[in-house]
Structure 1
Amino acid sequence: MKIRKGFITATGINYSGTLPKIRKNPNQLQPIYEAVTNALEALKLLKDKYNIEIKGEVIIKLILSKNLFSKEDDTYNFNEIVIEDNGLGFEDSEFERFIALNDCGKGFSNKGSGRIQFLHFFDKTVFKSVFRDSSSPTGYRQKEFTLSKSKPYLDKNSIINLKEDEEIKSNKSYTVLSLKNPLSEKDESFLKSLTTNEIKENIISHYLAYFCENRNQLPEFTIQQIVDNELKENIKIVSDDIPTPDNQKDIDIYYCKMSIEDKSIQKTDNKEMLNLKSFKISKNKLQKNGLKLTSKGEIAKEIKLESLLSDDFIEDNRYLFLLSGEYIDKCDTDTRGDLNIPTKEEFKKNYTETLFNEEVILLDEIQEKANRVIENLYDEIKTKRDNKLDDIQKLKSMFLLSDETLNSIKIGLNDSDDKILEKVYQADAKLVANKDAIMKQHIQQIENLNPAEEDYEENLRVQVDELVKTMPLQNKAALTHYVARRKLVLELFDKILKKQLEIQKTNKRNIDEKLLHNLIFQQSSDNPEKSDLWLINEDFIYFRGKSEGQLNQIEIDSKKIFKQDFTKEEEEYLHSLGENRKIKKPDVLLFPAEGKCIIIEFKNPDVNVGVHLNQINRYASLIRNFSEEGLQIDTFYGYLIGEGITAREVKSFDGDFKASYQFDYLFRPSKTIPGENRSDGSLYTEVIKYTTLLDRAILRNKLFIEKLTK
């Protein structure tokens, strides 16, 4: 059917409404890719239709013009990009497909809407195509047409204007495509700064799989820069630019059939042979790892590569795997990429007893067998994968990560620990959000129950049961993070005691006491809630308090506990014997309730704790006698913590200390704190080893950790 010249008006489609729904590709090179894809397809069609063996040619011309600043800064104005090929050309059948917006029949992964990218990027796309025509006296005809979404076109519900369709003298077919007048200033700026080398590198990268498969029969690719009609640069893509396979393996894939007895899929003795080619390519040239089926030398379908995520790389290389074979070629359909190779699920779904003898190759079998072979092709992939699995197991143990969450996320070989944890916590957050929504639904359903209905009790029981099932799942993620942090603190505590931290090995001074103090309650902090005082007692994190604060500066509810005005006699005592007792710094002071104070002192693990038994007594005495009248603290609890502790040594300093019935610590039930012009106070004291604290804390957290790691 001969198509008349002029605007080609669409029927059954409104371009003004349809074009905006097809998104503009964010890749500014996409129009060039679309043109090159069309050129490769035209070359293939010419060979298939006329059985002509010619040297295919694809020429990309970047056409620029000089401006006032070209000499100074080597910049130019953009004129157009031209892509030429010596393929089939726009014969009538091809042109009819082209004008059908949603046609999917061209193949080469063309879904019919690629031409819309020309419209989104450029005001005018001009085609001049010469093609064979047996009805023409000359044997050739020429079509010239323009693609545009400008107002004159859309007013006629058209995007194509056929300007010429005439007989012409020629000895070959070809197509010249010109991309003119970028619609976006950003795109124009990009195009005028584009270089021939950048075009070459991107073309190779974009079509790398095709080039690898066809390296010995590539079209002649030429890329030119033309400035004011003068050829400035002329470079080519040659076979040496294309990587060669590292490995080739033949793989046997067995046919499968459905068992008529139990409807299971069983392998038969029949098989097909596929060839696997593997390429190790610089990550700068290969953007994604991939495992792809090829048909007749072209990429037909991508299947799952299990050893690597698409973005993984090893020593700056990525990996491409291409599967080919006569069987894949036979399974190709008119729509490129739509192979007639079913999955197990599709085979089961479409199975009927009339087909019980049918044998097929399943996509799942190809994917599974190929991945098993790939695992053994590169030692570095296997080593990297094994190391990553070890890292994941360590993170799982350290942070109590669940198998359910780990199995739900994709972890790359190059993912750092923090990236893995980020993915885990994001997955947990989605799970918690989902459970929150379910909980809300159950609560709303409970609110809507009517006690007057006969089945009220049964409905209530059902809703409560469902709510109870949901709540533990909803809270597990938060609890896991909480307990995992405690587990890390316990491990760090143990390492400090065993002097395994790098800072302990390299520092000339003994800083063990400082490390332990800061681990439990950061020095100078006044926020026990953010401390790890739970290592001593779970309740301590809920009290008000201060770590290493001067006695005369410590506050409760914004009020200083120490008096600000002292009698002459008090001043003399506070500064006697060369001391300034006002600025003494207890390691930790906590205030659990009115009239009560907890005093904690840390000692270096190498120190004999017995010689420091009176230190807490002195702090208690100062607070009892010099605190503000309104505070009147009279009940004290002291914790002297170190490692150099023996029962005999402690008792030799103070015979009132007794050994505990459980764990390795000593306690003194009560010690009088004399009051000066005030009633006496009392002090309960424990002398505890750091290792005892660790054992206590491990036991307290053991149940949570065991529950979460089951």
Structure 2
Amino acid sequence: MEGIKYIKGIGIWYQRELNTIKRKDDLFLQPIFEAFTNALESISIQKEKYQLTEQGEISINVFLTKNLFSKDTTSYDFQKIIIEDTGLGFEDSEYERFINLRDDRKGFSNKGTGRVQFLHAFDKTTFDSIYKDKNSSTGFKQRLITLSKCEAFIQKNAIIRLDDEKEVKSDKPKTVITFETLLNQKDKDLFKTITASEIKEALIRHYLAGFCEQRNNLPLIKINLLIDNSVSTELSILPSDIPVPNQEKEIDIHYSRIDGNDIVKSSKKETFKFKSFIVPESELDKNGLKLVSKGEVAKNIKLDNLLPSDQINGNRYLFLLSSNYIDERDSDTRGNINICKKKDFKKNEGPVLFSEEEILLEDIEEKSNLVIISLYKEIEEKRKEKERSIEELQKMFLLNPKTIESLHNKINIGDSDDVILRKVYEADAKIVASKDAEIKQRIKELDNLDTTKDDYQEKLAYQVDEFVKVIPIQNRTALTQYIARRRMVLDMFDKILKKEIEKLQKGERINEDLLHNLIFQQHSDKPEDSDLWLINEEFIYFRGTSESKLDNIEIEGSKIFNKEFTKEETEYLNSLGEKRLSKRPDVLLFPDEGKCIIIEFKAPDVNVAEHLSQIDFYANLIRNYTNDRFQINTFYGYLIGESIEDRDVRGRVSRFEHSYHLDYWFRPSETVVGFENRSDGNIYTEVIKFSTLLKRARLRNKIFIDKLEGNQ
């Protein structure tokens, strides 16, 4: 040998070319995976070429060194990684392919660019390969190769240097790859605490499909962790470590083609292998549906009905899909699969130009998810159970369907009702922004408003208009006024509770009327003009009345208590000197046929617990004494005040529970007794503080107010 030799690129400029093959930043173990894949392939080629039966060996050795803090932190410094295999070695044909960057003659759908991951991760990678050579006097030769993108190499337009080539004595081929000097600080930090177990688990997850295929024919795989050159941990990957597929199935997926403006299915199809695994949640951190390329897990695709963190009976699910079609579409960066999406196919756009017929990613996802549901009824049932629970909560709390839809990918199948509600209420929460001086001045004008005065609405409208003038002219729209009103009402609500309005500063108590009129003007039958959104956004869209006598309440022009009462009913309704149908519930709303919302307000200094049965009483009157055509049997009650003691509430009505996350008390469905021939109804009730309503309303509206004021 005449000394070292840099292998210069011909027809390629490495400084530019290396930038086109990206580092896989999400996988700091990617260089190990690349070397391990090459070792597997090398062993496979050797067995086929020389008709061998030996299983072969691969060892991964991670060398760390102690530092000053290692004793206390179990953190070490990275030294090097050495990976050995008993595969074919760098025979002439393999060496020729190695020195040509995009040579894919090796087969296995290789693109010949995996070594670039070595360059991106390490300053220097060396190969010491012993291989069979029939022209050698010993039967074997050795090649020593260095791989680097450092300045000394790039200046010579090279990434490979042949350091030595000679005849050697050996009894079998082998290749030793050594990685030295990490280039990325994040990698250095991750390797400081790496364990042999983590590497073993990562290899099993990454090569699960291939390992399953070769379960009983795997090479002997060892993982060693060495600290200061002494073996700290030695592990092996055995057939018993490989999960057994729970289900295996072949799936036919048809190609698609363009017909005019439509995408239609072709008669041409490919067969995909589907494998599923049920793994304890302690061993699998996420559910997933993944494409497998050349035996390696390569790409996550859409998994319906299960979120990544869901678990069923303590287990998670892994679904793997492999096919020659996937292998052929692996990119230069191993694991980046170029499978066409519908939108790109129609435009013939994307990372590559597509053929006239392609298998579409959406079809792969759809077919796979249908197979999953057909094989695992428990997943389908859990999904339906979650949807039923959400639907019940949506009806019970009159939750905004759009908010629920926005949380579609955030509600786990195992979430409790309380957790779901918390996620719903937090969905609109935003960071509070600062307010400018002009806006503060407008808010100060609220001090002089009194919600019990006849001119309250006009004065509020004037303040709203003045507030709008502060907003830039391009934003003065109907929405601006709508949001501005909310902004003003929220601050008015806050000032009443803090006794900051002029009337209360003089020593008057906060009576119920002040807050009642703020939320829904007394004696009004127009919820759309109210501020009931302070309680729930949808309440303003329902029919209803405020402070109306029961026997005067109408739905669609008909009085609901317009019926002929029996003698017994008449006697009851007027017994004990009471005129029960003359009572005035604070607010009654009718969201749908057969449903009624009852809201009662109590002054902040009133012990709310003393009125826990009031809503039940109104529900009973409506259930039993309304006209037969209405048949209202489902009730939602909201008792709202400020003086609420947990023990008072639960001491009087033990079925009330406190929701710690959302700070309210609730009683699940309670019977509303039906008398005479009427069936029982049911009522759900909440007890909540005014201050809690204010906090929730501010959170729900913060994003709109911030945009209005130009703070976002």
Output the TM-score relative to the length of structure 1.
0.54
Q: Percent identity over the alignment? A: 40
Q: Indicate the residue corresponding to 1:8 in structure 2.
A: 7
Secondary structure at the aligned position of 1:159 is classed as: strand
Q: Indicate the residue corresponding to 1:86 in structure 2.
A: 86
CA distance, structure 2, for counterparts of residue 163 and residue 287 of structure 1: 44
Superposed displacement of residue 386, structure 1 = 1.0
- Structure 2 counterpart of 1:546, from 493, 496, 499: 496
Q: Indicate the residue corresponding to 2:212 in structure 1.
A: 212
CA distance, structure 2, for counterparts of residue 72 and residue 400 of structure 1: 52
Superposed displacement of residue 125, structure 1 = 1.1
CA contact (8 A) 2:550 2:585 kept: no
Superposed displacement of residue 134, structure 1 = 3.7
Q: Indicate the residue corresponding to 2:502 in structure 1.
A: 555
Superposed displacement of residue 420, structure 1 = 7.2
CA contact (8 A) 2:289 2:318 kept: yes
Secondary structure at the aligned position of 2:401 is classed as: coil
Q: Indicate the residue corresponding to 1:389 in structure 2.
A: 387
Give the partner amino acid of 2:587: L
CA distance, structure 1, for counterparts of residue 315 and residue 63 of structure 2: 35
Give the partner amino acid of 1:32: I
Superposed displacement of residue 586, structure 1 = 3.2
CA distance, structure 2, for counterparts of residue 267 and residue 591 of structure 1: 66
CA distance, structure 1, for counterparts of residue 2 and residue 425 of structure 2: 59
Equivalence map 1:126-205=2 (5 Å):
126-184=126-184, 187-205=187-205
Q: Indicate the residue corresponding to 2:465 in structure 1.
A: none
Equivalence map 1:263-342=2 (5 Å):
276-291=274-289, 304-310=302-308, 312-322=310-320, 328=323, 333=328
Q: Aligned pair in 2 of structure 1 residues 196, 109: CA closer, same or farther (>3 Å)? A: farther
The one-character-per-residue Cα deviations of 1:77-122 (angstroms, maximum 9, x if unpaired) are 5431111111222233333333344555656675544323322332
Structure 1 unmatched runs, 5+: 351-357, 427-470, 486-526, 532-540, 563-581, 593-597, 602-639, 648-660, 666-686, 703-710
2:527 corresponds to 1:529: no
- Structure 2 counterpart of 1:586, from 494, 499, 511: 511
Superposed displacement of residue 383, structure 1 = 1.8
Q: Aligned pair in 2 of structure 1 residues 257, 317: CA closer, same or farther (>3 Å)? A: closer
Q: Aligned pair in 2 of structure 1 residues 33, 258: CA closer, same or farther (>3 Å)? A: closer
Superposed displacement of residue 9, structure 1 = 2.2
The one-character-per-residue Cα deviations of 1:35-85 (angstroms, maximum 9, x if unpaired) are 222222222332344443321211011224456777787665543111111
CA distance, structure 1, for counterparts of residue 50 and residue 400 of structure 2: 66
Secondary structure at the aligned position of 1:162 is classed as: strand
Structure 2 unmatched runs, 5+: 349-355, 430-473, 524-544, 562-580, 598-712
CA distance, structure 2, for counterparts of residue 645 and residue 373 of structure 1: 56
Q: Indicate the residue corresponding to 1:572 in structure 2.
A: none
Structure 1 stretch 182-191 or stretch 153-162: which is displaced more? 182-191
Q: Aligned pair in 2 of structure 1 residues 52, 155: CA closer, same or farther (>3 Å)? A: same
2:373 corresponds to 1:375: yes
CA distance, structure 2, for counterparts of residue 413 and residue 16 of structure 1: 50
Superposed displacement of residue 178, structure 1 = 0.6
Q: Aligned pair in 2 of structure 1 residues 173, 322: CA closer, same or farther (>3 Å)? A: same
CA contact (8 A) 2:140 2:168 kept: yes
Equivalence map 1:42-53=2 (5 Å):
42-53=42-53
Q: Aligned pair in 2 of structure 1 residues 476, 161: CA closer, same or farther (>3 Å)? A: farther
Q: Indicate the residue corresponding to 2:33 in structure 1.
A: 33
CA distance, structure 2, for counterparts of residue 697 and residue 361 of structure 1: 48
Q: Aligned pair in 2 of structure 1 residues 242, 359: CA closer, same or farther (>3 Å)? A: same
Secondary structure at the aligned position of 1:41 is classed as: helix
CA distance, structure 1, for counterparts of residue 226 and residue 560 of structure 2: 87
Q: Aligned pair in 2 of structure 1 residues 10, 285: CA closer, same or farther (>3 Å)? A: farther
Give the partner amino acid of 2:89: G
The one-character-per-residue Cα deviations of 1:615-649 (angstroms, maximum 9, x if unpaired) are xxxxxxxxxxxxxxxxxxxxxxxxx98799889xx
Superposed displacement of residue 236, structure 1 = 0.8
Give the partner amino acid of 1:245: P
Q: Aligned pair in 2 of structure 1 residues 196, 293: CA closer, same or farther (>3 Å)? A: closer
Superposed displacement of residue 182, structure 1 = 2.4
Give the partner amino acid of 1:529: V
Superposed displacement of residue 406, structure 1 = 6.2
CA distance, structure 1, for counterparts of residue 319 and residue 337 of structure 2: 18
CA distance, structure 2, for counterparts of residue 590 and residue 261 of structure 1: 63
CA distance, structure 1, for counterparts of residue 116 and residue 359 of structure 2: 37
Output the TM-score relative to the length of structure 2.
0.53
2:166 corresponds to 1:241: no
CA contact (8 A) 1:554 1:561 kept: yes
Measured on the aligned residues, the alpha-carbon RMSD in Å equals: 5.7
CA contact (8 A) 1:88 1:131 kept: yes
CA distance, structure 2, for counterparts of residue 108 and residue 119 of structure 1: 22
CA contact (8 A) 2:205 2:297 kept: no
